[in-house]
Structures are given as structure tokens and as C-alpha cells.
Amino acid sequence: MKSLIETIKQFENNKTALGHFNVSDLTALKAIFETARGLNLPVIIGVSEAERDFIGVKQISALIKSLREEFSYPMYLNADHTHSLEKIKQAMEAGFDAVMFDGSDFPFEENISRTKEVVEYVKSANREILVEAELGAIKGNSVILRTSDVRQIKPEDLTAPEQAAEFVKQTGVDLFAPAVGNLHGIIESQGNPSLDISRISEIKKAVNVPLVLHGGSGIRDADFISAIDAGVSIVHINTELRIAWRKGMERALKENPEEITPYKLLPIVIEEIKKVVEQRLKLWNFKFKNAKY
């Protein structure tokens, strides 16, 4: 199996995007695994700190390992949005392929020093584990947002290309997540704001590592195509999967009011999640329909 960085580089060279989908349970994992494998595409599973608290750090790692081994399938695991070195260590010990340190709430210099500390620790223990970091303010929390919840994104919230270059150089991160108009969550009433595509191009020119687009839920198809063209190599989706999970659960209970057997109800949840994963993966990789990864 290719290493995660080799896989990412392949997507970067092809100007396509690798999917990063968050899970908190087995239904979402099953839906993502079956869909991505069916499309012959590798995939990254993401678990945030709260998702890890629910599913278990060692438990999710064992599940990914078992699928990877049984099906010889390139599925990778990322410790998404991790706020402390202690939690980074837990994920590393459990065998994660990548960790995302989120120091974006700190001022620029402090974000650099904290991220650098994480990179140095991770690389001294295992050079294979990738470290991703974020610079700029990506608002929201992977939920359905009201317009009033999200103040207008201001230019100073977005990542400046010069700062991106300095940040990547000083910290030594493997992957970089910029704020380019993206949000965590979906604004129901008016749709999500457009991405700043020219900023993505400038950041891509300024840094020499692959770019990760967080908050992929609610982004328009045309924006995705342009963002990937401009240099995004990984896209994160969470909120859309959560909505599909709930929609599937409601439909399953409504269609089967007497049913109590989980494995008869949950396939409907899986079906709803699969629709989202399939639509997104096909969109991001339409140029390489028959590419062998």
C-alpha cells in the first residue's frame, strides 16, 4: 500500500482531490468505505477530538486497520482538529497516519511555536506520520448554521499568502489548511459564501506542501472545481454526512415503525450517507474517472 504522502502527491499531480470524511460511528465508516472502494479511490477517515471520545481512539484505529488489511484497500486515518500535544500523542500511539494540530485560535507567532513543537515531537517519534496545521479563522462547528451565527467573513480572517509561506517554512508541516472563505457547517438559508479562488492560487504558489480545504459541506460544485484546479488536494466533509445520518435515521424509523433490529434499520442510514460520499468523490475526481490509485 502506498504511504499517505505518496497518495496525496498523486492527487496533487493529477489536480484532483482526496476525500477526508469524518465519522463517529460504524454506519458512516461502512458507507464511506464501501463507496470509495467501489469507485476505486483511496480515502481518509477523520475523527475530531469529540468524535474520538465517542468512538474510541484505539477502537477507530483497529477498525481502519482491519479494513485496510482484509481488503488491501488504501484507507487512512487522521486525528482531525487536535488542540493539545497530549491528544496528538494518543493518536500516534494508536497508529494514526496523520494528525491535524489546530492552533488557529492563537496569535500568529504562538500558532507557529505550538505547531512547531508538535511537528518536532511527531517527526522525532515517527517520520511517516503527517502533520497538518491551520492558519486563519475557519468559523463554525460542523452543524447547520443560522445566518446570525456566522458573522460576515472579514478579509483579516482569511489566510495571507506571505504569512502562509512563513508559517509552513518555520513549522515544517506536511499539509496546510488555509482559511479561504470556507466554514465548518452549512448556512441553511442563504448557502455558504463563495471561496476566494485567487487566494487559494496565491497560497499554493507561496507554500510547497499540499493544501487541505476544511468545511467542504455546503460548497457549490463550481467552487469545488475551481478550488481543486487552484491547488486544493484534500477536501474535508463532515456536516453533510451528519445531515444524511439524521435523514436516514428518520426515514428508517418512519418506514419501519415496528422494527427494532438495528441491522435492519441502519442500512437506510448507510444508503443516505453513501449518496453524499459518492456525489462528492465523483465531482472531485471527474477528470480521472478511470485513474488507478
Smallest distance from the beta carbon of 104 to Zn ion, in angstroms?
10
Catalytic hit among 80, 174, 196, 223? 80
**Is 97 among the catalytic positions?**
no
Pick from 285, 248, 255: which is nearest to 28 by CA?
Answer: 248
What span, in angstroms and rounded, lies between the C-alpha atoms of 206 and 161?
6
Nearest CB to Zn ion, comparing residues 105 and 259: 105
Q: Which CB sits closer to Zn ion, 214 or 274?
A: 214
Smallest distance, Zn ion to C-beta of residue 91, A: 15
Q: Which is closer to Zn ion, CB of 204 or CB of 214?
A: 214
Residue 280 backbone phi and psi in degrees, to 5: -65, -50
* Cell numbers linked to 53: 471520545
Residue type, 257: P
* Number of Cβ atoms within 10 Å of the Cβ of 68: 17
Closer to Zn ion at the Cβ: 114 or 214?
214
Q: Which residue number is nearest to Zn ion in terms of Cβ?
A: 214
Closest approach of Zn ion to the CB of residue 262, in Å: 30
Please, what is the minimum distance in Å from the beta carbon of residue 279 to Zn ion? 20
Neighbours of 263 (CB within 10 A): 6
132 with 121: CB under 8 angstroms? Answer: no
The cell 484532483 sits on which residue?
A: 16
Q: Rule CB under 5 A: which residues touch Zn ion?
A: 214
Instruction: Give CA–CA dist 161/158, Å, rounded.
Output: 9
Catalytic positions, written as ranges: 80
